Amino acid sequence: MSSDDEWDRYETLKWRATARFADSHPDDADLTELLSRVEKNRREYLSWGRDTLGWALYVFATPRGGASHAPSGRTAP
């Protein structure tokens, strides 16, 4: 589980990367929308996101050459 400090770092890095992109690409056609979305995300994170965030990564794979976990009567691909 990530700490509040780790989440803050993760979120802040996105905001900083967006600011650097905006500085180096001021004529990008999508810049206004990008900045708007990132600012919305920032406001949400700071107002209530820290209290509700958490995530997990689930990795699902079919075993190779091992036993099949397919429903009975069926074979795994």
* Digit-coded pLDDT (tens) for 5-22: 998 999 999 999 999 999
Q: State the Cα–Cα distance between residues 23 and 34, nearest whole angstrom.
A: 13
Q: Which domain holds residue 22?
A: 1-77
pLDDT in tens, 35-45: 999 999 999 99
Q: What total of structural domains would you count in the chain? A: 1
pTM of the model: 0.63
Q: State the Cα–Cα distance between residues 51 and 54, nearest whole angstrom.
A: 9
Q: Is the pLDDT of residue 23 over 90?
A: yes
Q: What mean pLDDT do residues 52-65 have?
A: 77
Amino acid letter, residue 32: T
Both tokens of 34, joined, read: 């990008």
